[in-house]
Amino acid sequence: MNDNTIDSLREALKHSPDNTPLRFLLADTLLTLNRLDEAEIEYAAILKISNEDKAKVGLANVFYRKGSYSACNVVLEEVIEKGTSDITVFTLYAKGLLKENSVAKAIEAYKKALAIDPKYFDEELDNQLRQRGSNEITETEEEIDNRFLQKPKINFSDVGGMELVKKEIELKIIKPLLHPELYKAYGKKVGGGILLYGPPGCGKTFIAKATAGQVNAKFISVSLNDILDMWIGNSEKNLHEIFELARNNTPCVLFIDEIDALGASRSDMKQSSGRHLINQFLQELDGIDSTNEGVLVIGATNTPWNLDPAFRRPGRFDRIVFVPPPDVTTRESILRLKLNNKPTGTIDLQTISKKAEHYSGADIDAIIDIAIEQKLEASFSDGIPKPLETNDLLIALKKHKPSTQEWFSTAKNFAMFANDSGLYDDILTYLKIKK
């Protein structure tokens, strides 16, 4: 962009002053060229036409570059308060807060950016915030215990279907706990890891919790967000403390959700801190410094192909189990459970279940919600709840396609062309494909 282009944009705006895309182009160009006063005028003009968050963020960038950090932060706080998932908003807000020496608030803003994308990295913020985090107040052991440690009240009898999954878990986890003397006689430890994979919303977390209940064990459920910390070394420390909590409460099922975010191939990790965290996790799995006797680690992932191969070595996640969408019988059970205590008429659960092939448990929830929304509209006129009927749910089925379709589209390619040692044979079986 040069002056002639900017002049052309201004001329065009004379004839179409309310053309926001054109004015955005001019404002963004002026900002890029660091013509801040002019950019401010244009962003302000957009806000008079339309109260768009994009214009507010542009204006905040202008204020930041001008050194008006307080004004920048005020504008961004308004955007954040409305709700946003834009990482750049939280990043700029964190930088603006740092300029005003609001370190604690800057840390929180950057954490929100990392919560949106755990792999996100801003060198400037990382350098500043990590250096300032040495005096961070950490949770007490009691606080950590209360936050993570559970005693599940469900077991395998509460899990509809999943017979093959339950059988695999029984062989790997349950029988060793019930017959430890037999395993010790053969020199085998009671513990180990199992990896559950499959499309999202198909009950991986539920089956993990039911496993703990089946053997009357404690249950710890964590995700990457529970582990990640802003400062070098703290993420590794958090991970170690979680494993120690499991070791001190055996028998214990330690469930790590979305483990692919933690176990991404080390060659893909741009930050050395990410590589350190993975190595720490592998050390904890191996029980190098502490015994993992009685600690049963269950990992869950939607993308097993993104896992570092080191995770699948013997003694780690050496048993990998496919968790498919619920079968027709299980879908019927889910429907019956979800519709309980709701106003219903005559519902043919079998017909609906048959038509809901490939639908996950989360999809079935969505179908029921859609049907209820339609009934609510019909009930507003007289205030009397209208019962759900078979047809209501069939109509909802047409409006909500199974979310598993996209996952299977990707998984099929890996199963067909990157199926080392038959790792994904279960996917081919489910799809009724012979390789």
Whether 21 and 164 map to the same domain: the answer is no
Cα separation, 353 vs 355, in Å, equals 5
In a domain? residue 236: yes
Q: Does position 282 have pLDDT exceeding 50, yes or no? A: yes
Say what the pTM is: 0.64
Whether 251 and 234 map to the same domain: the answer is yes
Domain count, the chain: 3
In a domain? residue 75: yes
Query: Mind listing the pLDDT tens digit for each residue in 407-430?
Result: 999 999 999 988 877 889 999 999
Residue 340 has what DSSP assignment? T
Query: Mind listing the pLDDT tens digit for each residue in 218-241?
Result: 999 998 888 877 565 678 888 898
Q: Give the residue with greater pLDDT, 61 vs 3.
A: 61
Cα separation, 251 vs 305, in Å, equals 30
Whether 176 and 316 map to the same domain: the answer is yes
DSSP strand pairing (218-222 vs 252-256) = parallel
Whether 291 and 345 map to the same domain: the answer is no
Angle at 395 between CA 341 and CA 383, to 5 degrees: 50
Whether 297 and 387 map to the same domain: the answer is no
Whether 362 and 387 map to the same domain: the answer is yes
In a domain? residue 83: yes
Cα separation, 173 vs 194, in Å, equals 8
Question: Which pLDDT band holds residue 96 (cuts at 50, 70, 90)?
Answer: very high
CATH code, domain carrying 199: 3.40.50.300
Q: Does position 354 have pLDDT exceeding 90, yes or no? A: yes
CATH code, domain carrying 53: 1.25.40.10
In a domain? residue 139: no
- Enumerate the H helices of 16-85 as residue ranges: 20-32, 36-49, 53-66, 69-82
Q: Does position 146 have pLDDT exceeding 80, yes or no? A: no
Whether 82 and 176 map to the same domain: the answer is no
Whether 41 and 55 map to the same domain: the answer is yes
Cβ proximity of 277 and 227 under 8 Å? yes
In a domain? residue 246: yes
| Gyration radius of the chain over CA positions | 27
**Residue 384 structural domain:** 328-401
CA 207 from chain centre, in angstroms, equals: 18
Mean pLDDT in residue range 197-225: 90
User: Which amino acid makes up residue 253?
Assistant: V
Whether 26 and 90 map to the same domain: the answer is yes
Whether 212 and 315 map to the same domain: the answer is yes
Whether 72 and 177 map to the same domain: the answer is no
Whether 340 and 310 map to the same domain: the answer is no
pLDDT of residue 144: 54
In a domain? residue 433: no
